[in-house]
Amino acid sequence: MPNLIKAATLFSQLQQKTYFGFVVMTGTVKLIAAVFLSLVLLASGLSLIAMHQLHSERENARVAAQSILTYTEELLGEASDAAKSSLQAQQVICSGSLSREQAFLLNHFPHIQAISFVQGDTIGCSSLTAAQRKIIPQRLFSHIGTTEAPVETLLFDMPTLYYLANIQNNTLLVNISASFINNAFNLDGVQGNMYLQIGGAQVWSDGSIIYASGDNDHFMHLRSATFPVSVAWQYPVAIPLYRFIAENTSILAFALLVSTMCGYLFWRLMGYFTSPFQTLQQAITQRQIHPFYQPFFKGDTGKIAGFEVLARWKHPTYGYVSPDIFIPLAEQHHLIGPLTRLLMQQITADFQKAIHHFPDGLYICINVSAQNCLDPHFEIDISDMMHNLEAKKRHIVVEVTERHPLHVTPQLNEWLATLRRANISVALDDFGTGYSNLAYICALQPEFLKIDKMFVSQIDHNTDTRLVESVIDLAKKMRLKVIAEGVETQAQVDYLRAKNVDFMQGYYFCRPLPAEDFIKRMRLEVSAASSPA
């Protein structure tokens, strides 16, 4: 049903001649448009994938920064707890026992490297004997209760994080090895360029330390609400192409497949929205239009006298298209020449092997337009057809029909003269309708006159037939053979026979037939004629 609706819409637009509203797209343009669409879809898909990945990486970086900050806060929280607990363990720390470090630090605070009691500007006693009597840099005293970056190797030959606290009039110095800080950058999900800002130093993810304070404008910052530390990470603004491809190989392949399929479907879909002119042009090129053959019969004997070649277009989607639709379109867009050439080629292919079974003197009528006289290929095409169909035993008739005014020019006269020199007769089709009138009889000097079915349909016992009688009488007086079209009833047959009409054609006798069926009909006709009565 949807196809029927589409067909009705398309052919209605054709019939109403609204086809200039269609966008004409050649095959090359359609291909370019399809490729362009595929590329746009692919680019859009890749952009969405990249945006999603970039958003994920930004969120992952934020989560990683939060993990590092939480880890660092836990270290400093442990240092704070160690400082508070150290007063109770002061005797253990300062006792000089060899096991005091193991007993206190390792069992209670595994991340603490040392706890020292400060006396003045030196370390009075410490969990590490080597640390006693070391001078404390004066600058550290300004950070009591805060954290200080590893600006000096006060206790060890490696950077150390100090936690300096004043508890109950006791000053304590808690040391955390920088190796534990570096461990923060080895947490799951942590990657990329980031650093810890601790006091006046930046501990970077690659292990380097830069002594600088203040925020880096090119980094995002996440600050601790408990301790004066922050984590800074570089905000991802783009994804390197090599990494994007490596991490999204399957998705990229799928996006390429989908975009290619969409482009192909678009290309196929454009076939349904081309202009009627282009659709007809493609039909001719793709040989969708085929000849059907409708015989006409002698008025007195009822035997087949000849046949008319009728174009039938079988659209692959919409089925058969009426000639009343595509023939005017072909005339308007100068496709009559290619259409006539196609039909003559197919006539030859249909009958070249079977023509010797046809009776001699058979009329073969081909519809032409005045446009054919401007076609330089017409004479060659019809000459080839006549040669292949044994034209000396047949009568070729061209039926001239014109839906537009026929201009009698020297070129038209020469064309008609060429036809007659080739023993081709002329019939004036659809006489009395459109522009087929008495003036054309004088101009074309036809041998045949075809009465249009519009007049034949008026023949009835209760209908005025004077117009039909006038046409028949005119043809007789001008010694023209008359072919009555559209004969459908016995009453019409009886009337036309009574008027001695030469030939009759219509559904009463036979519908237009494809070549195979027509050849069967002709063989039956020949067989019946040769059988004894």
- Alpha-carbon distance 64 to 68, whole Å? 6
Q: What is the pLDDT of residues 119-146, one digit of tens each?
A: 776 777 777 655 555 556 555 555 544 5
Let me know if residue 439 belongs to a domain.
yes
Contacts of 379 (CB under 8 A, 6+ apart): 418
Q: Which domain does 175 fall in, by range? A: 70-234
Lowest-confidence segment of 132-141, 151-160, 394-403 by average pLDDT: 151-160
Identify the band that residue 304 occupies on the pLDDT scale cut at 50, 70 and 90.
Answer: very high
Please report the pLDDT score of residue 172 as a whole number: 78
pLDDT > 50? residue 258:
yes
Please report the pLDDT score of residue 16 as a whole number: 39
Residues 197 and 333 in one domain: no
Let me know if residue 512 belongs to a domain.
yes
Most confident range (mean pLDDT) of 162-171, 300-309, 399-408 is 300-309
pLDDT > 80? residue 207:
no
Residues 217 and 353 in one domain: no
User: 293 with 513: CB under 8 angstroms?
Assistant: yes
Identify the band that residue 99 occupies on the pLDDT scale cut at 50, 70 and 90.
Answer: low
Name residue, tokens 């793709």. Answer: 286
Residues 343 and 218 in one domain: no
pLDDT > 90? residue 262:
no
Residues 348 and 202 in one domain: no
CATH number of residue 215's parent domain: 3.30.450
Measured in whole angstroms, how far is the alpha carbon of residue 444 from the centre of its chain? 52
User: 402 with 431: CB under 8 angstroms?
Assistant: no
Of 212, 234, 256, the residue at which a domain comes to its end is: 234
Q: What is the pLDDT of residues 315-355, one digit of tens each?
A: 887 788 888 888 888 888 889 999 999 999 999 999 988 88
Identify the band that residue 22 occupies on the pLDDT scale cut at 50, 70 and 90.
Answer: very low
Let me know if residue 460 belongs to a domain.
yes
Pairing of strands 170-177, 112-119: antiparallel
DSSP of 439-499 = HHHHHH--SEEEE-HHHHTT-STTS--HHHHHHHHHHHHTT-EEEE----SHHHHHHHHHT
Let me know if residue 279 belongs to a domain.
no
Identify the band that residue 307 occupies on the pLDDT scale cut at 50, 70 and 90.
Answer: very high
Of 216, 234, 252, the residue at which a domain comes to its end is: 234
Let me know if residue 7 belongs to a domain.
no
Let me know if residue 81 belongs to a domain.
yes
Please report the pLDDT score of residue 133 as a whole number: 52
Q: Structural domain tally of the chain?
A: 2
Task: Taking residues 354-361, report their average pLDDT.
Answer: 85
HEC sequence for 319-360:
EEECHHHHHHHHHHCCCHHHHHHHHHHHHHHHHCCCHHHCCC
Residues 369 and 474 in one domain: yes
Task: Taking residues 375-384, report their average pLDDT.
Answer: 87
Higher-pLDDT residue of 11 and 47 is 47
CATH number of residue 491's parent domain: 3.20.20.450
- Mean pLDDT for the chain overall: 78
Task: Taking residues 456-476, report their average pLDDT.
Answer: 83
Residues 207 and 339 in one domain: no
Let me know if residue 18 belongs to a domain.
no
Q: What is the pLDDT of residues 430-442, one digit of tens each?
A: 777 765 567 788 8
Let me know if residue 64 belongs to a domain.
no
Please report the pLDDT score of residue 9 as a whole number: 43
Of 201, 217, 234, the residue at which a domain comes to its end is: 234
Task: Taking residues 15-28, report their average pLDDT.
Answer: 45
Residues 220 and 337 in one domain: no
pLDDT > 50? residue 383:
yes
Residues 361 and 468 in one domain: yes
Lowest-confidence segment of 154-158, 332-336, 445-449 by average pLDDT: 154-158
Higher-pLDDT residue of 406 and 492 is 492
Residues 341 and 435 in one domain: yes
- Structure-token pair, residue 52: 């999603």
Most confident range (mean pLDDT) of 8-22, 117-131, 175-189, 457-471 is 457-471
Lowest-confidence segment of 9-13, 228-232, 238-242, 361-365 by average pLDDT: 9-13
Identify the band that residue 272 occupies on the pLDDT scale cut at 50, 70 and 90.
Answer: low
pLDDT > 90? residue 516:
yes
pTM of this structure: 0.54
Residues 411 and 498 in one domain: yes
Higher-pLDDT residue of 517 and 131 is 517
Residues 375 and 303 in one domain: yes
Residues 220 and 308 in one domain: no
How much of the chain, in percent, has pLDDT values that exceed 70? 79
Higher-pLDDT residue of 82 and 488 is 488
